[in-house]
Amino acid sequence: MEIGLQLYSIKDETKQDMLDALRRVGEIGYKGVEFAGYMDISAKEMKNTLSGNGLRSIGTHIGLQRITDALDEEIEYNLEIGSKYIILPYANYETKDEVLGICEALNQASNKAKKHGLIVGYHNHNHEFKKFDGKYIYDILIENTCDDVVFEFDVYWAAVADVDPIDYIKTRRKIELIHIKELSDYTTKKNADVGSGVLDFPSIIAAAKAGGAKEFIVEQEKTDGDVWDSITNGVNYLNSILP
């Protein structure tokens, strides 16, 4: 199992020097990256930097406006760098109709992207576990998107919403990517270094694999220490528990 890194984890570092940050990510031991912006680096240079540092592009996070208004540009860039996924990382919802509107946007984007061999997906936070008509927003999204739309399940945000990540993964479909993100404890609910908190990652990974998940991606949103130490701790921990 190859471990990826969501580059939002080191957003300050990528803003300063994206190419050097990628070099360090490869040296630490990650095998893939998920983008959250390209820092004005051309697709050709990004592709060369990835391959030169033993990395592959898993995919990218782009906002709703890019999904609806600039998808052709995103498809072209991600095809060049070898991505597989284009992920919508966030949407806000006040009504069920707004959820269904996002479903339609994802369906339309998926229809276009799949013609080029790319997959469109959705990444959750905690508010997708609020309910409309007695049903989680996340479940409404799953049920009202086409089969080609996949989901990137963030285990930390599920736990913040008091949803058991393992049970949820076991009972839902279309979860193809997992964000490996740690919960410090169930009281403060802070983001901690992977392996230092309360989430049962061996069981999470086993459930996800059994359900067909293909990508496992560390994301470190916050840390009390040095971010490079945190993401190093994450990949080292995961490599220590994998068979």
pLDDT at residue 43 is higher than 90: yes
* CA-wise closest residue to 183 among 164, 155, 207, 163: 155
Exposure of 241 by Cβ count < 10 A (0-12 exposed, 13-18 middle, 19+ buried)? Answer: exposed
Domain regions of the chain by residue span? 3-241
Look at residue 158 in the predicted model and tell me its pLDDT.
98
pLDDT at residue 160 is higher than 80: yes
pLDDT at residue 224 is higher than 90: no
- Under the banding of pLDDT at 50, 70 and 90, the label for residue 242 is confident
What's the pTM value of the predicted model, to 2 decimals? Answer: 0.97
**CA–CA separation, 217 and 34 (whole Å):** 8
Q: Domain 3-241 adopts which CATH fold?
A: TIM Barrel (3.20.20)
Please write the tens of the pLDDT for every residue from 58-84.
999 999 999 999 999 999 999 999 999
Exposure of 168 by Cβ count < 10 A (0-12 exposed, 13-18 middle, 19+ buried)? Answer: buried
